[in-house]
Amino acid sequence: MAETTDCVIIGAGVIGLACAREMALAGHEVVVIEAEDAIGMHTSSRNTSCIHAGINYLPGSLKARLVLRGKELLYQFCPQHGVGHRRCGKLMVALDEAGAMELPRLKANAETNGLNDMEFLEPARVREMEPELRFHTVLYSPSSGIIDTHELMLALLGEAEENGAALALSSPVLGGRVSGAGLEIDVGGKQAVTLRCRSLINAAGLGAQKVAAAMDGVPPATVPAQVLQKGIYFVAASKRPFSRLIYPLPGAHATTVHVSPDISGAVRFGPNTLPTDRVEYSVDESHAPFFYAAARRFWPAIEDGDLVPGWAGVRPKTSNQRASRNDFIIQDKKVHGVPGLVNLYGIESPGLTSSMAIAEHVHSLIGHGLVRAA
């Protein structure tokens, strides 16, 4: 006999938890099903934790819209719920003439997307803000910031639970089907169970394609390809050269590396881009030369030994396009024909920033008419 609930959410990363909060606040009975034995064990805790302002996304894309709304929602939610964050600002740094020619295009793109607060900085101001930075021209984004992602996830879960949501850990979703009365999913783990629900949100991140493919009734042609890209970080061991987000443009060089302070002020470099065909998070010293070379272009005072290996994440992409060009894919019945089901694919950057806006969007796709299960 299947147990019945209004809404099942697969995945307790930041997207699943934001959706759980949104649906629970709207009065729905929500169960979050997570394969791991804790929340946020994958991409949501393996990223840059940057609150993106919405600068370089393709105009008209879901990313362009949801990142702006998501940023606004985060800046409201974080202070109200004690989530560590800092509106530290981001310096888009041209290191040479080639990079400088890119900056007006970035500013214009941001303005097309509705982000109108970016400004070019006078050199003296840049030197005052970031004395260790070597630069040619700087475009400043004051609304970019950083966030404690784990505190965010705990706060989202907390508010969801206060409104009746339940979380089941160590519960991998193995498959499911469309049944006459709604949707059914088979959950493995020690307490294997079949759950019946009226709405199902597949927020399984790196596992989203696998979950969708295991759902009888979801047309296979609607499940996009998955392209994995690993990104690793190195950390400044004992120095704090920068206090803001520093995004150097590649300019004449093929690649670059970004800088992000965390909430404690520790300075991280990365991520780089490594194609991969599996989810694994090892980081080894062999990447150090790339990080030193990239960092030296804008941090001339860096010395050997300043950087130590940090951590890695895997981008859940649907193509090899850059994150700014590769849009989120959020499918409802209009695409796959299954009422009540929303599949989220390719929720790479800026998914963290957009999380609460994605949750609003998913709620609107599922419809406000959902009623509590008897």
Ligand X SMILES: Cc1cc2nc3c(=O)[nH]c(=O)nc-3n(C[C@H](O)[C@H](O)[C@H](O)COP(=O)(O)OP(=O)(O)OC[C@H]3O[C@@H](n4cnc5c(N)ncnc54)[C@H](O)[C@@H]3O)c2cc1C
Contact positions vs ligand X (CB under 6 A): 10-16, 33-36, 40-44, 47-50, 52, 172-173, 203-207, 211, 231, 271, 313-315, 347-353
Rounded to 5 degrees, φ, ψ at 315 are -75, 125
Structure-token pair, residue 261: 């302070």
Are 201 and 234 in contact, with CB atoms under 8 Å apart? no
Strand pairing category for 30-33 and 166-168: parallel
Count of other CB atoms within 10 angstroms of residue 174: 16
Cβ nearer to ligand X, comparing 157 with 295? 157
50 torsion bin: left (phi>0), alpha (psi -120 to 50), beta (else):
beta
Closest CB 132 distance from ligand X, rounded Å? 22
Cβ nearer to ligand X, comparing 37 with 97? 37
d(CA 1, CA 13): 29
Closest CB 369 distance from ligand X, rounded Å? 26
SS3 of residue 196 by DSSP: strand
Upper half-sphere CA count for residue 98 (Cβ side, 13 Å): 7
Strand pairing category for 227-236 and 307-317: antiparallel
d(CA 317, CA 233): 19
SS3 of residue 48 by DSSP: coil
Rounded to 5 degrees, φ, ψ at 137 are -145, 145
d(CA 250, CA 44): 26
Closest CB 203 distance from ligand X, rounded Å? 5
Structure-token pair, residue 355: 């999380």
Cα-Cα-Cα-Cα dihedral of 62, 68, 69, 72, to 10°? 160
d(CA 96, CA 141): 19
CA nearest neighbour of 212 among 315, 314, 316: 316
DSSP label at residue 286: G
Cβ nearer to ligand X, comparing 137 with 143? 143
Closest CB 33 distance from ligand X, rounded Å? 5
Closest CB 127 distance from ligand X, rounded Å? 26
DSSP string, 315-345: EEESSSS-TTTS--EEE-HHHH--TTEEEEE
Q: Which residue is nearest to ligand X (CB)?
A: 351
Cβ nearer to ligand X, comparing 356 with 370? 356
Cβ nearer to ligand X, comparing 156 with 249? 156
Closest CB 348 distance from ligand X, rounded Å? 5
Cβ nearer to ligand X, comparing 96 with 161? 161
Cβ nearer to ligand X, comparing 67 with 307? 67
Closest CB 213 distance from ligand X, rounded Å? 11
Closest CB 343 distance from ligand X, rounded Å? 12
Closest CB 353 distance from ligand X, rounded Å? 3
Cβ nearer to ligand X, comparing 42 with 336? 42
Cβ nearer to ligand X, comparing 100 with 341? 341
